[in-house]
Amino acid sequence: MSTVGQKYSSGEFFLPQMMIGARAMTSALDVLKPHLTGPATERTKAKVVPGTVSNDFHDIGKNIVKLMLEGAGFKVFDLGVDVSAEDFVEAVRRDAPQFLLMSALITQTMESMRATVEALEAAGMRNQVKIGIGGAPVTQKYAAEIGADFYTEDAYGCVETCNDLAA
């Protein structure tokens, strides 16, 4: 899906190709889910709030991260897709997570990540949560630029980073 997302962002793929890729990945996830989650753990490591940013409706990568985090023992409060900065702030207030994870698959929606960091700062809540970002167009440089705590390029890296920071 990373390649599909990159090709969509560059204009090489259009919405029909994106939808075909998403449907194929969703079907594959149904088969892979038991292998991605692994055995349940007895103790919750930390609370995590993932969501796909405002004006972005792609959730396959986020859903993979969610499944892997749950399998690794994290309590996950999934916000879904098209999540506004205000909704991310409300989730931090309500759920008190250790991690807020934002995903974007389209370059044009990445600015919603910056808006969310700024909204958390304005609400006086920025230091209450570690912010991680990811998605096809996202980079480590962008994470540093907007003040996110970490960037990972794939689901496995996200779970490993959350494990390391939760320890």
Residue 28: per-residue pLDDT: 77
Residue 156: per-residue pLDDT: 86
Tokens of 54: 């405002």
Task: Give the pairing of strands 150-151 and 130-134.
Answer: parallel
Report the topology of domain 37-166.
Rossmann fold (3.40.50)
Mean pLDDT per 10-residue run, the chain (167 residues)? 68 79 73 64 81 94 87 92 99 98 96 99 98 97 98 91 93
Residue 39: per-residue pLDDT: 55
Residue 33: per-residue pLDDT: 67
How do the residues of the chain divide into helix, strand and coil, expressed in percent and rounded to 5? 55, 15, 30
Residues in the chain: 167
Task: Give the pairing of strands 99-103 and 150-151.
Answer: unpaired
Residue 18: per-residue pLDDT: 67
Residue 117: per-residue pLDDT: 99
Residue 1: per-residue pLDDT: 59
Alpha helical stretches, state H, 48-154: 60-71, 85-95, 111-122, 140-146
- Domain residue limits, the chain: 37-166
Alpha carbons 100 and 158: distance in angstroms, whole number: 11
